[in-house]
Structure 1
Amino acid sequence: MANENKPRLPLPVNAVDKSARPTLPTASAEQDGRRPLQSAVALAYREGESAPKVVAKGRGLVAEQIIAVAAEHGVFVHESKELVSLLMDVDLDGQIPPLLYRTIAELLAWLYHIEEAQKAGQPLPPAPDTSAPLTEPTGGH
């Protein structure tokens, strides 16, 4: 197939402070009193890779651009301040750490269910809870 080399799901993960104005998602506030900065991380997963990779990340205008590109391509943006904070520490083109495998797998499954619901004209499923504390993976990995 022609799409085999394309990422299956680019997954912008956007950190948002829900107490902020809804038109300006934010992840972290600057200390000097200016408006809070928005943060965003985009993930991509290619079949056959061991884990999704961070393909874009940034704060401020870069974050806004990541989110705008996602919107242009119909990619859902999941809002999770804690998750973005952890993903911002991953190098560009680096795979997500094992600590995040389960959380990211749940998000990818959720996006799959969203796509299926849209195709069937059904209501969209609720987002998974990504606020639960993260624990080390089991199974010796």
Structure 2
Amino acid sequence: MSKLPEVGQKAPPFSLARDGGGTVALKDFKGRKLVLYFYPKADTPGCTKEAIAFNGLKAAFAAADTDILGVSADAVKAQDKFKTKYDLDFPLGSDPEKAMLEAYGVWVEKSMYGKTHMGIERATLLIGRDGKVAHTWPKVKVEGHAEAVLKAAQELA
């Protein structure tokens, strides 16, 4: 079972289909800081709260020269609906094949009501301008998370 990339390690490259068509890739953020957050499913209560929290702090992240990218295994069509419904102002990547999710160690075995299944572990990485992982938040609890990530982004040169 893989795990999140280590702090100081180069972030694994990726290129994903994204909301609105086209693609989004790690190289698109070269020279900028990037909040890369993984969420289990678009338009579910926790994922919605998390997306709204990041979106509400978008201007503060921009002031800290930091971009935001949300990623799930949802199809582009579901990402489009989610983005439109909540007026999200950052890209959403789609990885239904789960190659990027596996590379980042967030496609994991989960258990609910005694049954195990594979799913996305809610996690966030802050990637520095140099393309290296500067901070990780595994097993994220939504409450106060976006604010904690913003503080780390503001402190990162």
TM range (shorter): under 0.3
Higher relative contact order (CA 8 A, sep 6+): 2
TM-score (norm 1): 0.27
Q: Which has the larger radius of gyration?
A: 1
Higher strand share: 2
TM-score (norm 2): 0.25
